[in-house]
Chain A
Amino acid sequence: AQSVTQLGSHVSVSEGALVLLRCNYSSSVPPYLFWYVQYPNKGLQLLLKYTSAATLVKGINGFEAEFKKSETSFHLTKPSAHMSDAAEYFCAVSDKSNYQLIWGAGTKLIIKP
Chain B
Amino acid sequence: SQTIHQWPATLVQPVGSPLSLECTVEGTSNPNLYWYRQAAGRGLQLLFYSVGIGQISSEVPQNLSASRPQDRQFILSSKKLLLSDSGFYLCAWSLTSGGAETQYFGPGTRLLVL
Contacts and interface: CB of A to CB of B under 8 A. Distances in A.
Interface of A: 32, 34, 36, 41-46, 49, 51, 90, 94, 96, 99-101, 103-106
B11 to A, nearest CB: 14
Nearest to B103: A101
Given A43-B108, A44-B105, A45-B105, A103 B43 contact: yes
Given A90-B43, A99-B32, A105-B43, A44 B99 contact: no
Interface residues of B, number: 22
A42 B109 CA distance: 9
A42 B46 contact: no
A57 to B, nearest CB: 12
Given A42-B107, A44-B105, A94 B99 contact: yes
B43 A106 contact: yes
Contact of A100 (B43, B46, B90, B110): B46
Contacts of B94: 99
B44 A103 contact: yes
A94 B108 contact: no
A49 B100 contact: yes
A104 B100 contact: no
Closest 4 CB pairs of A and B: A43-B105, A96-B99, A105-B43, A44-B105
A76 B105 CA distance: 21
A49 B102 contact: yes
Interface string B54-97: 00000000000000000000000000000000001010101010
16 contacts: A34-B102, A44-B44, A46-B102, A46-B103, A49-B100, A49-B102, A90-B43, A90-B44, A94-B101, A96-B99, A99-B96, A99-B99, A100-B46, A100-B49, A103-B44, A106-B44
